[in-house]
Structure 1
């Protein structure tokens, strides 16, 4: 039966990705955001001043109560959370919740995930979809349950990944698609029309989306050029793919492309190639990996032509 009074909602999220969803919920009179839960302030920058999360900044600007627990299982936090008498909790890019928290509202808790579940369950779904060369991704709303990203599906919306899209571009697309999906989901729950569809069981073709590690971004020039280009796209502008020049200096790569073609006898995989003016490439087993936008350690990010000015190409023969 449809709700006759606004749903009381507790919103949980931390990064900028979650802010449009909070703002979307605040625009609809059918719900009332009664509190926001986000990460504790953390030291950041050279001066190590305490930095507030993007969600906290948005919540404070709108006069919303903010909770910043360091321990989600702490009785005092759960008691305070319970005092807001939420009908529903909406979670976007937050931490794993204990059952006592996600099961607290009478309508449960929903999550907005940046993939088409059950594909890419985990912490870094946007990155891994691009790294694997997918042409389509999307956003999913689902009810939380015990195992991460396995709850019953509510809605899904597809979002294309264009050839030149990197992590930053897809992040922005999904940020806004997720906000629209969250509002549609909450409206359906308020009306009593939201579906609850069990996810298909895990199969061999399901790809996980584990947290990114430092070594995830290391470029291995024994891999195909297209795979390397996708790795760069999937990690740009952050945390960034990287390699090491023959002289030992680190090099971050923000943009690159694959140039198909069989390697010549005098250019085995891993050989650096340049004309010293306009291109910097590395031979791979199936073509050349063309570095377009890069950053030498201790220097600024720049296009390859600017990088090569004053660069001693002799170090590439080391």
Structure 2
């Protein structure tokens, strides 16, 4: 196999296996990631997952504050990599993505042009999609609009959370990255232009938008909960306390005593909540001041009301 000189750019855990696999088969000249960030009570500087992985592999790391820093741009230009691989990173200026001799490509966790943006995994779950996929494409200035190199479709498992899908992509991405590098090195590939008329957006999701609206259908509520899991995590209020809900499913159970959206009841070690057209079953939650746990474990020590109403 022909080896490429590669500059790898990424930050979160999802990109780590891809860096590791590329390092096995190619020459990683440099790893670029975000600056260390203070975290915890002591505000101790914490490395990104990609920096930790790079240091374990003995790879050089750069952490520019801005992608437009002249010194950083010059360092990339002097390296003159064959390929720049980008996975879950920042927006790059032309001075960076044009520095690759062959191409700069991005790994995106959707079937572009669907779900352009920062949170394609979350929105696939929130919208109740049955399939999704992963795309490699040539980077250009407009975000997530470049010509497609390769795509692989993925069936979304029933009741999957965004966290579940994240883990699946983490295992699938390395092989697609390797295939894409091989294509670029051989030069025998055809680029596919994105159909911009089919584009949809997947903006970042925030805690401020994570409160559950129980007046929607059980399917919509379950998808919302699963799509916001594990972060920023959907939540509801009860007795002036926050209840985080990490996993749920739409249920066909009936309960005549539950009259309004948000009414909940506990029955046979299961936790149900009324929505506009039926119920969801909560499978995993975190009560305020407690740790995250499966409902069966939560109920084992629960001595509170068996019925009540969550506040919207």
Question: Taking structure 1 as the reference length, what is the TM-score of the superposition?
Answer: 0.90
Could you say which residue in structure 2 is the equivalent of 1:16? 13
Alpha-carbon offset, residue 317 of structure 1: 8.7
Q: Decide which of 288, 291, 311 is 2:304's aligned counterpart.
A: 311
| Alignment of 1:219 onto 2:216 | no
Return the alpha-carbon distance in structure 2 between the equivalents of residues 147 and 317 of structure 1: 43
Q: Decide which of 73, 88, 98 is 1:78's aligned counterpart.
A: 73
Contact 2:249 2:280 in 1 (8 A): yes
Q: Decide which of 269, 275, 280 is 1:289's aligned counterpart.
A: 280
Return the alpha-carbon distance in structure 2 between the equivalents of residues 267 and 212 of structure 1: 31
Q: Decide which of 216, 220, 231 is 2:224's aligned counterpart.
A: 231
Could you say which residue in structure 1 is the equivalent of 2:200? 207
Could you say which residue in structure 1 is the equivalent of 2:156? 161
Unaligned runs of 5+ in 2: none
Return the alpha-carbon distance in structure 1 between the equivalents of residues 307 and 108 of structure 2: 48
Could you say which residue in structure 2 is the equivalent of 1:44? 39
Return the alpha-carbon distance in structure 1 between the equivalents of residues 88 and 310 of structure 2: 45
Aligned residues: 309
Deviations 1:55-100 (CA, angstroms, capped at 9, x unpaired) = 1111111221111000111111111222212122000010111111
Q: Decide which of 94, 110, 113 is 1:115's aligned counterpart.
A: 110
Return the alpha-carbon distance in structure 1 between the equivalents of residues 253 and 266 of structure 2: 16
Alpha-carbon offset, residue 258 of structure 1: 1.2
Deviations 1:208-258 (CA, angstroms, capped at 9, x unpaired) = 11011113322100111011111122222222111111x221000012121
Contact 2:244 2:285 in 1 (8 A): yes
Could you say which residue in structure 1 is the equivalent of 2:245? 253
Does the C-alpha gap of structure 1 residues 5 and 129 become closer, same or farther in structure 2, counting only changes over 3 Å? closer
Could you say which residue in structure 2 is the equivalent of 1:135? 130
Return the alpha-carbon distance in structure 1 between the equivalents of residues 133 and 254 of structure 2: 35
Deviations 1:195-218 (CA, angstroms, capped at 9, x unpaired) = 211101223xx4311011113322
| Alignment of 1:26 onto 2:32 | no
Contact 1:263 1:287 in 2 (8 A): no
Could you say which residue in structure 2 is the equivalent of 1:151? 146
Return the alpha-carbon distance in structure 2 between the equivalents of residues 113 and 214 of structure 1: 23
Q: Decide which of 162, 180, 184 is 2:175's aligned counterpart.
A: 180
Return the alpha-carbon distance in structure 1 between the equivalents of residues 14 and 190 of structure 2: 25
Contact 2:237 2:310 in 1 (8 A): no
Equivalent position SS for 1:83: helix
**What is the root-mean-square deviation in Å for CA atoms of aligned residues?**
2.1
Does the C-alpha gap of structure 1 residues 5 and 135 become closer, same or farther in structure 2, counting only changes over 3 Å? closer
Contact 1:263 1:284 in 2 (8 A): no
Return the alpha-carbon distance in structure 1 between the equivalents of residues 269 and 168 of structure 2: 32
Question: Taking structure 2 as the reference length, what is the TM-score of the superposition?
Answer: 0.92
Unaligned runs of 5+ in 1: none
